Amino acid sequence: MMKQNFWTFVVEQHEKLFMQVIQHLGLTFSSLLLAIIVGIPLGILISRKEKLAHFILGTAGILQTIPSIALLGFMIPFFGIGAIPAIVALLIYALLPIIRNTYTGITGVSTNVMEAGKAMGMNSRQLLFKVQFPLAMPVIIAGIRTATVINVGVATLASFVGAGGLGEFIFGGISLNNSNMILAGAIPAAFLAIFLDQTIAFLQGLKFRNLNQWRVIGSLITIIALAYYFWPTPTSNKLKAGFTPEFMGRQDGDLGLRAIYGLYMNPKIISDAIMYKAIHEDQLDVISGYSTDGRIKAFNLKVLEDDKKIFPPYYAAPIIKSKTLLKYPDLEPVIDLLAGKINDSLMTEMNYKTDFLQQTPEKVAQDFLKSIHLYKEAGLRNAGKIRIGTKIFGEQYILAALYKMLIEGHTSYAVETKTGLGGTKICFDALVNDAIDLYPEYTGTGLLVLLNPTEENIKEVTQNPEKTYHYVQQEFKNKYGIQWLKPIGFNNAYALMMRNKDAHDQRIKSISDLKAYLSY
């Protein structure tokens, strides 16, 4: 397959890109508008009531420090998924600079000028609008500029809660190992930040002293913000679907659902960290998940039968560079101790313990190793250091903990784990560039995401898990000098899932049933 270049990608995807830019602007402007509506009056209020200033600025400052993903996670129970939680989160980030600059601007107006205004008989309203506000305007605008740039950046994370925006390309690209897709999201996002910053700077330079002119600008922002809501979006189905960016771009994912089942879900794009929570909170009805995920059990979800076989089962196995195996000769036999030891139900059970029973991956790993009599206390750790990476979901954390205990118990190597790397691409690049030494990967991901084979190749090698394993093992060795070690035992495949109750009520057991239900 020919490598796609950046421009062909952009040209091909221009409709999607345009949509994402509109969504991104919509999110940024809606939140900005709200932040202005809330922030400026608050700033004025605290400039008059000094006692409140400390409290309000402090609170806004604390809100600012909450990590954006965590904030988005908190929002789901209150606001569901989609644009609203994203806008609320963005509003919270935009508040501090706007409140603070309004306060600083207004309190910075010289007392001499204020006294002159009072002495001429201005009332407090006239003083505010004719004196304080115009004089504080440059400082307030600077705050709005800061807030705009912050929001353009944070709005990329809105795609985690299905609110769209350029984050869809950025995080989709990271999951799918598609640099063009990452750039198609990142470059417009950077450009938007610069463009908006400069536009505001330009407007500031015009020295608007007249409130009427500000009203014009205010309405302009409002129009852009509103345009986002009235932009024609595909009509939604009876069931709301949420898929991960990776699932969206894979043959054994949304592409397959469309091609083989003729199932068009118009899904929201959402991060897997938030997806399960969203279906549990009734914000979504159908999600793409992994067949061994502990939350299937925890949240009482129904895995729909893949009756047309578009999700081939994949082995999970650790991958490692050949040269690393040579450097640390004791490593391979120890890692292989786990080969074939964990079947689907054991893995699901362990995932359930971490995802639902809230046990730490380390505890779950230790309990398991003890149960199969492989656990040993860590001994000397002076023969070198092995770095294990993981992707950002529970199963990988458990696997990393298992390998760490095995290696430290059975060899003299020390182990450092680098957990929660943001996606397949980040993990794989880290391995190729020697930032980590091994991580658990799935043969299907290796095949479809990393190797990019032709369609015939795919058909041929996905007939059974063994064929896939042998193909990727061969190709990885030749292309990257990377070894696939022996499979751990369980198969992990993509799966569509619904809440058990809904599936039962609508008598949906398979993906074909779902298709039938939706087209009915």
Partner 1 sequence: MIKVDAISKNYAEKSVVDTISFEAHNQEILILLGTSGCGKTTTLKMINRLIETDTGDILIDGQNIRDKKIEDLRMGIGFIMQNTGLFPHYTIQENIATVPKLLKWDKKHIQNRTNELMHKLHLSTDILVRYPHELSGGQQQRVGIIRALIANTPVLLMDEPFGALDNITKSEIHTAFKSLDELKNKTTILVTHDVQEAFELGHRIALMDKGKILQIGTPKEMIYRPKNDFVSNFFASNRLLLEHKVTTLADLEKMFHIQDIIQPSLSAQSSLSAQSTVWSALQHLSTDKHDFDRYEKLSKAFAAYRKMQIT
Distance of CA 418 to CAs 94, 388, 415, Å?
32, 6, 10
* Residue 207 or 477 with smaller CB distance to partner 1: 207
| Interacting residues of 344 by C-beta distance below 8 A, sequence separation 6+ | 291, 292, 490, 491
* Residue 44 or 286 with smaller CB distance to partner 1: 44
Beta carbon of residue 20, minimum distance to partner 1 (angstroms, whole number): 41
* Residue 121 or 232 with smaller CB distance to partner 1: 121
Q: Yes or no: say if 127 and 114 are a contact pair by the CB < 8 Å rule.
A: yes
By CB under 8 A, is residue 131 in contact with partner 1? Answer: yes
Q: Yes or no: say if 511 and 496 are a contact pair by the CB < 8 Å rule.
A: yes
Beta carbon of residue 110, minimum distance to partner 1 (angstroms, whole number): 8
Indicate the residue type of 45. Answer: L
By CB under 8 A, is residue 216 in contact with partner 1? Answer: no
Q: Yes or no: say if 105 and 137 are a contact pair by the CB < 8 Å rule.
A: yes
Task: Please tell me the distance from the alpha carbon of residue 487 to that of residue 508, in angstroms, as a whole number.
Answer: 33
- Among 15, 51, 67, 121, indicate the residue that binds partner 1 (CB under 8 A): 121
Distance of CA 298 to CAs 133, 358, 438, Å?
55, 11, 30
Beta carbon of residue 10, minimum distance to partner 1 (angstroms, whole number): 45
* Residue 111 or 382 with smaller CB distance to partner 1: 111
Task: Please tell me the distance from the alpha carbon of residue 407 to that of residue 335, in angstroms, as a whole number.
Answer: 7
Beta carbon of residue 115, minimum distance to partner 1 (angstroms, whole number): 6
Q: Which of 172, 242, 156, 166 is nearest to 424 (CA)?
A: 172
Number of residues written out for the chain: 520
- Among 22, 45, 69, 135, indicate the residue that binds partner 1 (CB under 8 A): 135
By CB under 8 A, is residue 113 in contact with partner 1? Answer: yes
498's enclosing H/E stretch is strand 494-499
- Among 8, 126, 199, 236, indicate the residue that binds partner 1 (CB under 8 A): 126
* Residue 134 or 489 with smaller CB distance to partner 1: 134
Beta carbon of residue 137, minimum distance to partner 1 (angstroms, whole number): 8
Beta carbon of residue 104, minimum distance to partner 1 (angstroms, whole number): 17
* Residue 135 or 221 with smaller CB distance to partner 1: 135
By CB under 8 A, is residue 105 in contact with partner 1? Answer: no
* Residue 65 or 111 with smaller CB distance to partner 1: 111
Of the candidate spans 120-128, 295-303, 476-484, 499-507, the one that interacts with partner 1 by CB under 8 A turns out to be 120-128
- Among 65, 123, 235, 382, indicate the residue that binds partner 1 (CB under 8 A): 123
- Among 120, 201, 220, 372, indicate the residue that binds partner 1 (CB under 8 A): 120
Q: Which of 311, 309, 332, 333 is nearest to 322 (CA)?
A: 332
- Among 209, 309, 370, 477, indicate the residue that binds partner 1 (CB under 8 A): 209
Site for partner 1, residues 172 to 191, rule: CB under 8 A: none
Of the candidate spans 22-30, 118-126, 301-309, 371-379, the one that interacts with partner 1 by CB under 8 A turns out to be 118-126
Beta carbon of residue 49, minimum distance to partner 1 (angstroms, whole number): 20
Of the candidate spans 42-50, 117-125, 350-358, 496-504, the one that interacts with partner 1 by CB under 8 A turns out to be 117-125
Of the candidate spans 119-127, 300-308, 317-325, 391-399, the one that interacts with partner 1 by CB under 8 A turns out to be 119-127
Q: Yes or no: say if 498 and 302 are a contact pair by the CB < 8 Å rule.
A: yes
Per-residue burial over 51-63, b if 16 or more Cβ lie within 10 Å, else e, is eebeebbeebeee
* Residue 117 or 361 with smaller CB distance to partner 1: 117
Please provide the DSSP assignment of 249-295 as one string. Answer: T-TTTHHHIIIII-----PEEB-HHHHHHHHHTTS-SEEEEETT-HH
Q: Is the dihedral of CA 352, 466, 474, 182 positive or negative?
A: negative
Beta carbon of residue 123, minimum distance to partner 1 (angstroms, whole number): 5
Radius of gyration of the chain (CA): 27
By CB under 8 A, is residue 213 in contact with partner 1? Answer: no
* Interface map 352-391 toward partner 1 (x if CB under 8 A): ----------------------------------------
Indicate the residue type of 102. Answer: T
Largest CA distance in the chain: 90
- Packing angle, helices 133-154 and 83-107, rounded to 10: 150
- Among 5, 7, 50, 115, indicate the residue that binds partner 1 (CB under 8 A): 115
By CB under 8 A, is residue 212 in contact with partner 1? Answer: no
Task: Please tell me the distance from the alpha carbon of residue 282 to that of residue 86, in angstroms, as a whole number.
Answer: 18
By CB under 8 A, is residue 116 in contact with partner 1? Answer: yes
Footprint of partner 1 on this chain (CB under 8 A)?
112-113, 115-123, 126, 131, 134-135, 209
